[in-house]
C-alpha cells in the first residue's frame, strides 16, 4: 500500500530557535493515533532513522505522528541536554523533582523548557493511544508501569530487546504522557549503541499500531 500524504507541522522552537517538527502520516480522521519520537537526548540519535523510515509506511485506521528529534539543539551539539543544560527527560511536570545537577539537571521548574512545552502541546492535541520514545544505549525495551504490557512484550519479542524495568525516574516524557492519557500506553525503547536495525523496529511499530485497530 502506498504511504498516505505527509503533513508536517512546526510544533515549537528550541531554546536556540530551531524548529521542532512533527509529521503526520495517514488520515487525520483515523481513529488510532500513534506518536513516535526519534530522540529526546541529542547524543542518542539512532531512533531518527526509524522515524524517517516510518514516513514511507501506512496502516489503515492509523495516523502516525513522527517527531524526528525533540531536541534539535542537543543534536547540533551532540549533547544529552538542551542548549540550556536541561535534561528534557527530567523536565516534564509529572513527578518533577528539583535538586539534580549536571547530567540530569531537571531545569529550574517543571515544564520550563520550550522543547518540553512543544511535545506537551502535541500530545495534548493528538492524544495518542500509543507513544514510543527512542533512547540509547542500553539495548532494552523499558517496562512502563500501569499501562498495556502486551504491546510492550510484543515489541520486545519482535526486536530482540528484552523487556526490563528501570527506576521510576522523575519528570519523564512517558510518565507525564501516561498520567495524562489514562487509557493510552507510552513506553521507551533503549536502542543499542550505533545504528539501529531499522526494518526490524519499523515492523515492530507497525505491528503495535495494528494491534490498536482490532
Please check whether residue 96 lies inside any domain of the structure: yes
Please check whether residue 109 lies inside any domain of the structure: yes
Q: What is the DSSP string of 89-122?
A: GG-SSTT------GGG---SSTT-SHHHHHHHHH
pLDDT in tens, 175-204: 999 999 999 999 999 999 999 999 999 999
Please check whether residue 136 lies inside any domain of the structure: yes
Please check whether residue 172 lies inside any domain of the structure: yes
pLDDT for residue 5: 63
The mean pLDDT of 6-22, rounded to a whole number, is 97
CA distance 203 to 185: 18
pLDDT in tens, 119-158: 999 999 999 999 999 999 999 999 998 899 999 999 999 9
Q: What is the CATH number of the domain that holds 174?
A: 3.40.630.10
Provide the domain limits for residue 20: 6-211
Please check whether residue 86 lies inside any domain of the structure: yes
Please check whether residue 201 lies inside any domain of the structure: yes
Q: How confident is the model at residue 99 (pLDDT cuts 50, 70, 90)?
A: confident
The reported pTM is 0.96
Residue 198 vs residues 13, 24, 42, 205: alpha-carbon distances, Å: 28, 19, 19, 11
DSSP 5: P
Please check whether residue 1 lies inside any domain of the structure: no
The CA-to-CA distance between both ends of the chain, in Å, stands at 19
Q: Are 85 and 100 in contact (CB under 8 A)?
A: no
If one counts the domains in the chain, the total is 1
| Residue 65: closest CA among 137, 141, 11 | 11
Q: What is the DSSP string of 37-98?
A: ES-SSTT-TTHHHHHHHHTT---TTEEEEEES-S-HHHHHHT-SS-TTS--GGG-SSTT---
Please check whether residue 146 lies inside any domain of the structure: yes
The mean pLDDT of 14-32, rounded to a whole number, is 97
Amino acid at each position: 500500500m502506498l504511504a498516505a500524504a505527509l503533513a508536517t507541522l512546526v510544533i515549537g522552537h528550541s531554546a536556540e530557535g530551531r524548529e521542532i517538527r512533527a509529521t503526520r502520516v495517514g488520515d487525520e480522521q483515523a481513529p488510532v493515533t500513534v506518536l513516535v519520537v526519534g530522540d529526546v537526548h541529542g547524543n542518542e540519535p539512532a531512533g531518527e532513522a526509524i522515524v524517517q523510515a516510518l514516513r514511507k509506511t501506512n496502516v489503515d485506521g492509523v495516523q502516525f505522528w513522527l517527531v524526528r528529534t525533540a531536541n534539535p539543539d542537543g543534536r547540533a551539539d551532540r549533547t544529552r541536554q538542551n542548549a540550556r543544560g536541561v535534561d528534557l527527560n527530567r523536565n516534564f511536570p509529572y513527578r518533577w523533582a528539583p535538586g539534580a545537577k549536571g547530567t540530569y539537571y531537571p531545569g529550574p521548574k517543571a515544564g520550563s523548557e520550550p522543547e518540553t512545552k512543544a511535545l506537551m502541546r502535541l500530545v495534548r492535541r493528538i492524544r495518542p493511544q500509543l507513544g514510543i520514545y527512542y533512547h540509547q544505549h542500553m539495548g532494552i525495551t523499558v517496562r512502563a508501569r500501569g499501562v498495556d504490557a502486551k504491546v510492550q512484550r510484543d515489541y520486545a519479542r519482535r526486536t530482540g530487546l528484552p523487556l526490563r524495568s528501570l527506576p521510576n525516574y522523575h519528570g519523564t516524557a512517558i510518565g507525564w504522557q501516561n498520567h495524562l492519557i489514562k487509557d493510552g500506553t507510552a513506553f521507551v525503547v533503549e536502542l543499542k549503541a550505533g545504528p539501529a536495525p531499522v526494518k526490524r523496529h519499523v515492523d515492530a511499530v507497525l505491528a503495535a499500531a495494528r494491534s490498536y485497530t482490532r
